[in-house]
């Protein structure tokens, strides 16, 4: 199983969400022979679009799953602005936790991130836990890790597949970690280099997931690995 995760970050409005899914539907309909049974394709829209995305996936019968980009470390209650795992679990099966942008701009620390993992697990959400380097701790119970070196995110300068592979193997020394994804400037042209790299089980894609046509290209390439 290879993971292809689209992280839309703080992008799109509801009309653009509608267009993205209808374009994806068109691609799947026009290419019925594409083999994606070994791919787990997960779309992570901003929170307000999770219900809309869930409806569109069901309406168009798309082979796509949903994930959130983050979760609250707290349960329901007086936590203004926070979105609980219970709310997310109505729509999504996965959640990203600890993305370097959350750590940098929202000052999330490892205590908070561990609390998020526990909340997610308790609700049956699968955390995709992001680390930027070997110094970042991985909380217990995490089974999917996304390795994303900060210098590679949004820069167009991806880390080499060799280095991604080396890091993936090192992370997998921890026997609880079943899958390691690479993220940072993954594009249709380089996606397969990562998917083929030893120890790498998928990719986390930001910029190249925003246009349906580009993300489709990535799905097509990935389907041949």
Enzyme catalytic residues: 99, 148
Applying CB under 6 A, does 7 fall inside the site for ligand PGA?
Answer: yes
Minimum CB distance to ligand PGA, residue 138 (Å)? 17
Among 73, 98, 127, 184, contact with ligand PGA (rule: CB under 6 A): 184
Both structure tokens of 19: 């267009």
Q: Which is nearer to ligand PGA, 32 or 212 (CB)?
A: 212
Applying CB under 6 A, does 51 fall inside the site for ligand PGA?
Answer: no
**How far is it, in rounded angstroms, from Cα 188 to Cα 19?**
20
**How far is it, in rounded angstroms, from Cα 97 to Cα 126?**
10
The region of 16-24, 70-78, 201-209, 216-224 touching ligand PGA under the rule CB under 6 A is 201-209
**How far is it, in rounded angstroms, from Cα 30 to Cα 103?**
41
Among 204, 212, 219, 222, contact with ligand PGA (rule: CB under 6 A): 204
Query: Distance of CA 9 to CAs 25, 35, 96, 205, Å?
Result: 22, 28, 11, 10
Give the contact letters, 119-158, x = binds to ligand PGA (CB under 6 A), - = no: -----------------------------x----xx----
**How far is it, in rounded angstroms, from Cα 21 to Cα 89?**
21
Among 57, 92, 186, 195, contact with ligand PGA (rule: CB under 6 A): 186
**How far is it, in rounded angstroms, from Cα 84 to Cα 140?**
20
């Amino acid at each position: 199983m290879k993971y292809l995760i689209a992280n839309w970050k703080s992008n799109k409005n509801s009309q653009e969400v509608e267009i993205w899914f209808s374009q994806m539907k068109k691609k799947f309909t026009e290419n019925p022979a594409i083999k994606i049974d070994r791919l787990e394709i997960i779309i992570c829209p901003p929170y307000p679009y999770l219900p809309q995305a869930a409806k569109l996936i069901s309406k168009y019968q798309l082979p796509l799953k949903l994930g959130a980009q983050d979760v609250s470390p707290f349960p329901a209650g007086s936590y203004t602005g926070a979105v609980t795992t219970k709310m997310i679990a109505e729509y999504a099966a996965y959640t990203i936790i600890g993305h370097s942008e959350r750590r940098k701009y929202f000052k999330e620390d490892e205590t908070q991130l561990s609390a998020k993992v526990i909340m997610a697990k308790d609700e049956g959400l699968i955390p995709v836990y992001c680390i930027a380097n070997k110094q970042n701790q991985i909380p217990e119970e995490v089974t999917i890790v996304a390795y994303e070196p900060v210098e590679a995110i949004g820069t167009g300068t991806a880390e080499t597949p060799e280095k991604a592979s080396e890091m993936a193997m090192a992370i997998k020394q921890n026997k609880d970690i079943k899958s390691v994804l690479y993220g940072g400037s993954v594009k249709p042209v380089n996606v397969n280099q990562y998917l083929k790299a030893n120890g790498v089980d998928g990719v986390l894609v930001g910029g190249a997931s925003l246009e349906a046509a580009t993300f489709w290209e990535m799905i097509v390439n990935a389907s041949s690995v």
